[in-house]
Chain A
Amino acid sequence: MSLLDLFRKQPPSAPAARERLQILMAHERAGVRGPDYLPKLHKDLLRVCKKYMQISDDKVSVRVEELGNVSMLEVNIELPGGGAYAR
């Protein structure tokens, strides 16, 4: 530890806790409240994607978002290998 560290204050950690919780809760609640077919849809999408690319399970996310009286299905598929649709 350098002498400078003694005087440097660490940033407060509570805001990080709050933000992480908010993201997590939004995710978990969507999972709980979404339609029953969501997990199956997620699995099927993953299976289809795997036919065409090497992709890990956490790169496909499926969730339902409520916007007023409209429910929107949001599917995010992150392509492997970085930018410029490698491979």
Chain B
Amino acid sequence: MSKIIVMTSGKGGVGKTTSAASFAAGLALKGHKTVVVDFDVGLRNLDLVMGCERRVVFDFINVINGDARLKQALIRDKRVENLWILPTSQTRDKNALTKPGVERVLGALRQEFDFIICDSPAGIEKGALMALYFSDEAVIVTNPEISSVRDSDRILGVLASRSRRAELEMEPVKEHLLLTRYDLGRVETGEMLTVDDVMEILAIPLLGVVPESQSVLRASNLGSPVILDSASQPGQAYADAVGRFLGDSLEHRFLTAERRGIFQRLLRRSA
């Protein structure tokens, strides 16, 4: 049985696309046939983060409009087996995503893939609603920062009232919290909300905590999902999150700062 998972947050810039790319790659690495779909019509970026921007010929909207077949629009990842990307269009037409069109494409993807990851745009308008509407599970990407937490709460409300599962009174969309850009240094000095703070406020199960790290920017510079940088902390954190999603019980890492000596601190500062 295939599953549709939406990466959503309400707020922009919290790491939805980064997380969608890594999460999809992680599921594929575990042997599940996975596709990641960009729902951010007009602001296409998943292709860049995945490093396949020069291979885009047809897109999601072409398929919806019947201008291309699904097989023509799907891009196979060159690094990871089982991983595919469905890029979106750069059109400014806000109505390009129609509910029946999205339903038809997702239905066709369900025939082929184990997991369909929907990378949602920010906001709570059409694109975001379309990305979450058909989802079975939702990963709420949140930063430990007040506006992000508030917007995540809003999106949880939308999931509970406006998703297909809510409208058909089916079992509700399963929610997961993915806390990204977690800065241990600032948490320890009391300048950033802790994991526990955010969990208490949002009251949904924690899937993972991704520490703030330069390797995320580096990965997107290179067009390679950060999970493939398995030496990096974010890479390991995403791998853990994927493991937990698939049912492994893994302890959360990177929640306490490693103690650095004064010498190392000085070195780091000058670096």
**Interface residues, chain A, CB within 8 Å of chain B?**
11-15, 17-18, 20-22, 24-25, 28-29, 32
Contact = CB atoms under 8 A, between A and B. Distances in A.
B157 interface: yes
B163 to A, nearest CB: 15
B190 A12 contact: yes
B153 A14 contact: no
B149 interface: yes
Contact of B201 (A13, A14, A21): A21
Nearest to B157: A32
A14 B149 contact: no
Nearest to A10: B191
B52 interface: no
Interface residues of B, number: 16
Contacts of A24: 150
Contacts of B201: 18, 21-22, 25
Contacts of B149: 21
B193 A12 contact: no
B190 A20 contact: no
Q: Is the interface of A mostly helix, strand, loop or mixed?
A: helix
5 contacts: A13-B191, A14-B187, A15-B190, A25-B150, A32-B157
B39 to A, nearest CB: 24
Given A12-B189, A15-B190, A18-B193, 15 more contacts: A12-B190, A12-B191, A13-B190, A14-B190, A14-B191, A14-B194, A17-B146, A17-B193, A20-B146, A21-B149, A22-B201, A25-B153, A28-B150, A29-B153, A29-B157
A18 B201 CA distance: 8
B103 interface: no
B197 interface: yes
Contacts of B189: 12
Contacts of B192: 14
Most chain B CB inside 10 Å of its own CB: which residue of A14, A29, A32? A14
A21 B150 CA distance: 7
Q: Sort A-B residue pairs by CB-CB distance and give the 3 closest, nearest first.
A: A12-B190, A18-B197, A14-B190
A30 B193 CA distance: 23
A15 B194 CA distance: 10
Contacts of B153: 25, 28-29
